[in-house]
Amino acid sequence: MIEDIKKDAADRMKKSVAALGTAMAKIRAGRAHTSLLDHLQVPYYGSDVPLSQVANVGVEDSRTLTVTPWEKDMVSVVEKAIMTSDLGVNPNSAGMTIRIPIPPLTEERRRDLVKVAKNEAENARIAIRNIRRDANSTLKDLLKEKEISEDEQRGAEEDIQRLTDATIKQIDDVLAEKETDLMEV
């Protein structure tokens, strides 16, 4: 029973760290990477679909992405979706291929992106602390129902705290890596 609670907490914490990794991948560091366009939605026959379902996205060089829609009519729609996104890039279309030059980041923009990364990391830390709180409250409920002893509860809470500390260290490492990546010119 206690092992189930610890395992559930560990699984949820792993998912929070994975979600942080996904969020950090969306913060661009001045280099072209296909994950920059992962969150874009494109109108396609009356419904919004992910860009990857209507076009092939690739990296031409370290500063240029290429998007090749599978249908000729989609070129202008995809180009408009990229222009109106929050990426701050200007796509250029040549026939069926849309090239997206990734401009180098200014110092001010780099600092803003570091703030965004710190905010994402703080949200992940909050999620981890909430998971710890949920696990500890479940343990307290089991103690009230006399299903576990106080010693078992205390030991399990210490295990969950160690897990929490280790996970928060992982989050801090991810943040430090992203900060270094962003501030690198």
Please check the confidence at residue 104 and state whether its pLDDT lies above 70.
Answer: yes
pLDDT classification of 103: cutoffs 50, 70, 90? confident
Over residues 117-132, the pLDDT tens digits come to 999 999 999 999 999 9
Q: How far apart are CA 52 and CA 34, in angstroms?
A: 10
* Four-residue CA torsion sign, 161, 15, 115, 58: positive
Please check the confidence at residue 9 and state whether its pLDDT lies above 80.
Answer: yes
pLDDT classification of 160: cutoffs 50, 70, 90? very high
> Residue with structure tokens 């002893």?
149
Mean pLDDT, residues 89-115: 85
- CATH assignment of 34-101, among 3.30.1360.40, 3.90.550.10, 3.20.20.80, 3.10.310.10: 3.30.1360.40
Q: Can you give the pLDDT at residue 141?
A: 92
Mean pLDDT, residues 23-28: 78
Which top CATH class is 2-26+106-183?
Answer: mainly alpha
> Which residue intervals of the chain are DSSP H helices?
2-26, 74-83, 107-144, 150-183
Domain boundaries, the chain: 2-26+106-183, 34-101
> Do 2-26+106-183 and 34-101 come out as alike in CATH topology?
no
Over residues 32-81, the pLDDT tens digits come to 777 778 788 888 888 889 888 888 888 888 788 898 998 888 888 888 88
